Structure 1
Amino acid sequence: MSLPTARQAELAPQRKPKNQFWLSSIGFVAPGVLLVAVVLYLPFLWTTYISFTEYNGLGDPEFIGIENFRDMFADPAFLNSVLNTLYWVLGTIALPVGLGLLIAVLSHGLPNATLFRLPFLIPYALSGVAVGVIWSFVLQTNGALSQALVFLHLPGSELRWLLDAPLNTFVMIGASTWQGAGVNALLFGIGLQSIPKEPLEAARVDGASGFTLFRTMTWPMLAPLTTVVVGLSIVGSLKTFDIIWGMTKGGPGRVSETLALTMYKETFINNAYGLGAAVALFLTVVTVLASILYLRRQLADSRSI
């Protein structure tokens, strides 16, 4: 016999009203949204407001419209910072990513491959300032590199590695490569291990080997990981600060500044908070746009495959 209808209704699980479920969801999401708003969105809005004012950190900001942006784009030092930042973006994509991929490919499949990658990974444990101090000792005038070149009777000992632009920017990109290539090699090594062996074996049977095998099979299957690594490199290069500060502090003068250093100097050294905020806003917009354009292009390429 079946239970009475009233008894069945009493034993059936009670469904929460839709409004109650919605309120519960809001209760779970609200703390995270509030935290992001407090630590990210509110400072961004305040920085945006300050960029339209003249403010030295004391008193009340004075609204001056777009004067800070006019002064920013009229300053040759700022335009040089934009050029140096572009050097950093291109150099960080080509060198740490390219070298990391090369290390991963050459060590892949070797016995104890991790031991081959470990020496390249150790510099990543150092802070950017520590890397800057180490390479400043190596590259300073009459430093370790110049003395080694003299001892080996090789050209280049007369070069002022950290004093002449854009040479100083290029050698600092090299120092950043020394720090970052190892972690990229680790990421690419993980990606190589996740590639299924069957397609590679089939390609070898068809006669593919060496660079042809890498170009036609391995590299396309690494595309999703490459998108992540290159994307992180672009964002990291746009906000590079610590290595440059540790090696040249943007000098001599301002010839090796990037946008991140210009923002810092204008704000905390020159006490031009409005101009510093304008540079910060410009850097934020450039970073977001670069990330969106790069990811949209990569996603479009992946859908077309």
Structure 2
Amino acid sequence: MSAVLSDRSDRAAGRRAGSARRPLLGRFAHGYVAPAALLVAGLLYAPFLWTAYLSLTRYDGLESPEWVGLRNFARLLGDPALLTSVRNTLIWVAGTMLLPVGVGLLVAVLSYDIRGGAWFRLPFMLPYALSGAGLAVVWSPILSHDGIANRLLGVDTAFLQVAPHNTLAMLLVWTWQQVGVNTLLFVVGLQSIPKEPVEAARIDGASGWRLFRHVIWPLMAPLTAVVVGLALVASLKTFDIVWVMTQGGPGRNSETLAVTMYRDTFVASEYGYGSAVAVLLTVVTGLASYLYLRRQVR
């Protein structure tokens, strides 16, 4: 009986000691999180809610918003310019998965385990220092009708004037910039792979493509999910390179959803309709990210 009472008293003393060591954490845990939560709410959620409200109005930026309900979204369904921007956005998504991510993985694998691999990767890293607008300024004269590209290739191609060639040309420029950062991320993933499984596979006779396909690639799956997720979001909101190189033209045949949103809002001064496009872009980006992350978790 005395042993049981002693054990109970020891546990009670332990609980009192634990609560004495963490009094503030238990009492004010929500208080520590509240400033960060309020900051996030103020910077992210409040502007989105305001945009969602404007998408249900007719607003030119000067007069008071006029409530129109879902008319802006109904207009979206019949807008041919929106269909074109959706097509171009899908091209950007597919191209980003194949080119910047695929080429980045290839460069990382080929340069990882060789002497001087870091110097081999350096030329791919340098373009990432440029902004999207700077990138467009550099490449616009190169891809123009009388630019260097036509002279070197000996062709007479309007790279930026004909759809979908203009979107594909800008996608190649985007690849030139983005390969470097994807290569760096994949190299980090290769460095984090345990050596034991790779060495065991080599002892069993695996090498080359078989070693990469069945051992290295599965071990890199977590980092690959991160790289693809970042590339997916970046491609969905492509704006600066398209706006500087073509401004969505000629006409509106190279617009992406982000460019359509900008043009309708700030060029045409249709803030309500532009906000509807912004809400659509947010929903598409959030849904695509959710579906991708859910599949990766499974």
In the alignment, what sits opposite 1:213?
211
Q: Which aligned pairs between 1:143-162 and structure 2 lie closer than 5 A?
A: 143-150=147-154, 157-162=155-160
In the alignment, what sits opposite 1:276?
274
Displacement of 1:20 in angstroms is 6.8
In the alignment, what sits opposite 1:184?
182
Q: How far apart are the structure 2 equivalents of 1:26 and 1:222? A: 37
Q: Which residue of 58, 72, 76 corresponds with 1:54? A: 58
Displacement of 1:120 in angstroms is 0.2
The answer to whether 1:38 aligns with 2:42 is yes
Change (3 A) 1:27 1:199: same
Q: Which aligned pairs between 1:100-249 and structure 2 lie closer than 5 A?
A: 100-150=104-154, 157-249=155-247
In the alignment, what sits opposite 1:153?
none
Q: Which residue of 72, 81, 100 corresponds with 2:85? A: 81
Q: How far apart are the structure 2 equivalents of 1:14 and 1:215? A: 50
Q: How far apart are the structure 1 equivalents of 2:26 and 2:271? A: 43
Q: How far apart are the structure 1 equivalents of 2:163 and 2:265? A: 24
Q: How far apart are the structure 1 equivalents of 2:278 and 2:141? A: 31
Q: What are the Cα deviations for residues 157-209 of structure 1, in whole angstroms up to 9, with x where unaligned?
A: 12110000001001111100000001100110111111122211111121111
Displacement of 1:133 in angstroms is 1.2
Amino acid at match of 2:114: L
The answer to whether 1:98 aligns with 2:102 is yes
In the alignment, what sits opposite 2:286?
288
Q: How far apart are the structure 2 equivalents of 1:275 and 1:19? A: 52
Displacement of 1:117 in angstroms is 0.7
Q: How far apart are the structure 1 equivalents of 2:23 and 2:227? A: 43
Displacement of 1:13 in angstroms is 5.8
Q: Which residue of 69, 72, 75 corresponds with 2:76? A: 72
Amino acid at match of 2:34: A
Identity of aligned residues (%): 57
Displacement of 1:137 in angstroms is 1.3
Structure 1 residue runs of 5 or longer lacking an equivalent are 1-8, 151-156, 301-305
Q: In structure 2, the residue corresponding to 1:161 is in which secondary structure?
A: coil
TM-score (norm 2): 0.92
Amino acid at match of 2:216: T
Amino acid at match of 1:283: L
Amino acid at match of 1:119: P
Displacement of 1:112 in angstroms is 2.8
Amino acid at match of 1:213: L
Change (3 A) 1:208 1:146: same
Structure 2 residue runs of 5 or longer lacking an equivalent are 1-12
Displacement of 1:103 in angstroms is 0.2
In the alignment, what sits opposite 1:3?
none
Q: Which residue of 23, 26, 29 corresponds with 1:25? A: 29
In the alignment, what sits opposite 1:63?
67
Q: What are the Cα deviations for residues 222-248 of structure 1, in whole angstroms up to 9, with x where unaligned?
A: 111100000000000000111111211
Q: How far apart are the structure 2 equivalents of 1:57 and 1:173? A: 33
Amino acid at match of 1:190: V
Displacement of 1:138 in angstroms is 1.1
Q: How far apart are the structure 2 equivalents of 1:203 and 1:30? A: 50
Q: How far apart are the structure 2 equivalents of 1:139 and 1:283? A: 29
Change (3 A) 1:158 1:27: same
Displacement of 1:26 in angstroms is 2.2
Structure 1 segments (4+ residues) deviating >2 Å: 12-16, 18-23
